[in-house]
């Protein structure tokens, strides 16, 4: 983990990555598309998703899925993970990654070239714990 771009990025891929870095928060494909609409950097939804997939395959971008099914993207350089409420879906970032480079033995890895990981915790936020008691 921590590969530098070995291949040249296409201009639009660079734009997308830059948007993700500048945003300072995770964005969905739809978010990125909306954010760029009207600017000279605008691009179609198909292109957004196409390049996001390619960025992922180069290990530059990570994605995680909300319980809603929506996918959120972030640069892998930002090693941030989350705590998500299984009831209301609210998400809060963790301030530190509890595993950093987790200890995976070579036989566990079995030839894979590691690009990134996702680590997500799920539970009930304090509000929803209260609401469950009432139910």
Partner DNA sequence: ATAAGAGTGAGTATCATTCTCATTCTGTCG
Partner DNA sequence: CGACAGAATGAGAATGATACTCACTCTTAT
| Closest among 65, 84, 81, 87 to 117, alpha carbons compared | 81
Residue 131 CB, shortest distance to DNA, in Å, is 15
Binding-site partner at residue 43 among DNA, its own copies, none, CB < 5 to 8 Å by type: DNA
Going by the DSSP 8-state scheme, the letter that residue 60 receives in this structure is S
Site residues (CB under 7 A) for DNA, limited to 12-41:
12, 28-30
Residue 47 found at the interface with DNA (CB under 7 A): yes
CB 88 within 8 A of CB 127: yes
Task: State whether residue 79 is helix, strand or coil.
Answer: coil
Q: How many residues bind DNA (CB under 7 A)?
A: 21
Residue 11 CB, shortest distance to its own copies, in Å, is 20
Binding-site partner at residue 75 among its own copies, DNA, none, CB < 5 to 8 Å by type: none
Question: Residue 72 contacts by C-beta under 8 Å, 6 or more apart in sequence?
Answer: 26, 27, 28, 63, 64, 65, 66
Residue 111 found at the interface with its own copies (CB under 8 A): yes
The site string for its own copies over 57-96 (x = CB under 8 A, - otherwise) reads: x-x--xx-x-x-x-x-----------x-xxx----x-xxx
Going by the DSSP 8-state scheme, the letter that residue 10 receives in this structure is P
Q: Dihedral, CA atoms, 115, 119, 100, 54, nearest 10 degrees?
A: 20
Question: Residue 112 contacts by C-beta under 8 Å, 6 or more apart in sequence?
Answer: none
Contacts with its own copies by CB under 8 A lie at: 56-57, 59, 62-63, 65, 67, 69, 71, 83, 85-87, 92, 94-96, 98-99, 102-104, 108-126, 129
Contacts with DNA by CB under 7 A lie at: 10-12, 28-30, 42-47, 49-51, 53, 67-71
């Amino acid at each position: 983990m921590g590969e530098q771009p070995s291949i040249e990025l296409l201009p639009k891929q660079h734009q997308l990555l830059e948007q993700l870095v500048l945003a300072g928060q995770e964005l969905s494909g739809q978010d990125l598309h909306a954010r760029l609409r009207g600017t000279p950097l605008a691009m179609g939804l198909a292109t957004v998703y196409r390049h996001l997939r390619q960025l992922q395959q180069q290990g530059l971008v990570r994605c995680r899925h909300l319980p809603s099914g929506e996918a959120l993207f972030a640069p892998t350089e930002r090693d941030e993970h989350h705590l998500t409420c299984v009831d209301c879906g609210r998400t809060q970032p963790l301030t530190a990654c509890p595993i950093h480079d987790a200890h995976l033995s070579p036989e566990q890895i079995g030839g894979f070239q590691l690009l990134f990981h996702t680590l997500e915790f799920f539970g009930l936020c304090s509000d929803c714990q209260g609401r469950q008691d009432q139910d």
